[in-house]
Homo-oligomer: A and B are copies of this chain.
Amino acid sequence: MPTHKLTTVQSQAALSELNTGLPTPWEIIDGKLAKAFKFKDFQQAFGFMTMCALYAERQDHHPEWSNVYNKVAVQLITHDVSGLSEKDFDLAKKMESFAALHKA
């Protein structure tokens, strides 16, 4: 199934749905779906990253991210469509579920 670029309205709707029930929301910054995660320590942070990496590789859709000790800053975009797609929101949801398995 081809990947489609979401319109601004579609992205905002997907963002609202994604953020429902989340204490710390995702934001759309410079056209990318972004969130800064904070964990107890490096072990928890990199454990989270490892779960994300395995999922991302399997989906062939990878995050842009940086890590400083217990912090992981994530930015998602779909380069094939030069914008946000369902793949970004799917990955964001998975990241939330993986983050929930690690100590904040």
Contacts and interface: CB of A to CB of B under 8 A. Distances in A.
Interface string A59-70: 000111111110
Kindly list the 3 A-B residue pairs having the minimum CB-CB distance in the complex, ordered from nearest. Answer: A66-B66, A46-B53, A64-B68
A53 to B, nearest CB: 5
Contacts of A65: 66-67
Interface of A: 42-43, 46, 49-50, 53, 56-57, 62-69
Contacts of A56: 42
How many copies of the chain does the oligomer comprise?
Answer: 2
A67 B69 contact: no
9 contacts: A42-B56, A46-B53, A46-B57, A49-B49, A63-B67, A64-B68, A65-B66, A65-B67, A66-B66
Question: Could you say which of A50, A56, A64, A67 has the most chain B C-beta atoms within 10 Å of its C-beta?
Answer: A67
A68 to B, nearest CB: 5
